[in-house]
Structure 1
Amino acid sequence: MSMHRKTITLTEQQDNWVKSQIESGQFGNDSEYIRDLIRRDQQAQQRLSMLRQALAEGESSGTPKPLDLAAIKAAGRQRMQTENS
């Protein structure tokens, strides 16, 4: 994997925060911390995209039906009995 050098500008407060994360031993240097932040953001964006897709599928799936809690509980009890048998 090729690496690219970037220059970023931080406020003093942000720089102190990054330094504290490194001093805590969680990261070896600034770059490791920034890459971790980017990975987390990428994962969050992927989860958000999946959630939006699921919402769109739900909205386009047709007319909603009333929630029948008694039927859901009965199905769960039946499943538990089947699994425990």
Structure 2
Amino acid sequence: MIKKSITVTETQEEWIQAQLATGQYASDSEVVREALREKQIRMAEIERIRAALIAAEEGGASTLGKEDIRAAVQADMRRDGRL
């Protein structure tokens, strides 16, 4: 692991402390790492959705709506172990 020093706002610190108070995390670092993992998953999902929308647009009319495309991407990500 790489040790980092970060600065957070007062509101972010209050949120981190609230997360610690739940007992689900042992340290600030665990809270921040979990938040980063969730952000990485969300960004990967957005990128896959974007690629699917571009492919549908380039291929002509699609029978899938945006929610159908999102559901398909999420299913793919679950199969890949990324969600």
Instruction: Give the corresponding residue for 2:35.
Output: 37
**1:54 aligned onto 2:48:** no
What percent identity do the matched residue pairs reach? 35
Q: Which has the higher contact order (CA 8 A, sep 6+)?
A: 2
Tell me which structure has the larger Cα radius of gyration. 1
Distance 1:12 1:57 in 2: 43
- TM-score of the superposed pair, with normalisation by structure 2: 0.69
Moved over 6 A (4+): none
In structure 1, stretches of 5+ residues that fail to align are 68-85
In structure 2, stretches of 5+ residues that fail to align are 64-83
Residue 5 (structure 1) aligned to one of 3, 6, 11 = 3
Residue 16 of structure 1 aligns with an amino acid whose one-letter code is: E
| Alignment root-mean-square deviation, CA | 1.5
Give the length in aligned residue pairs. 63
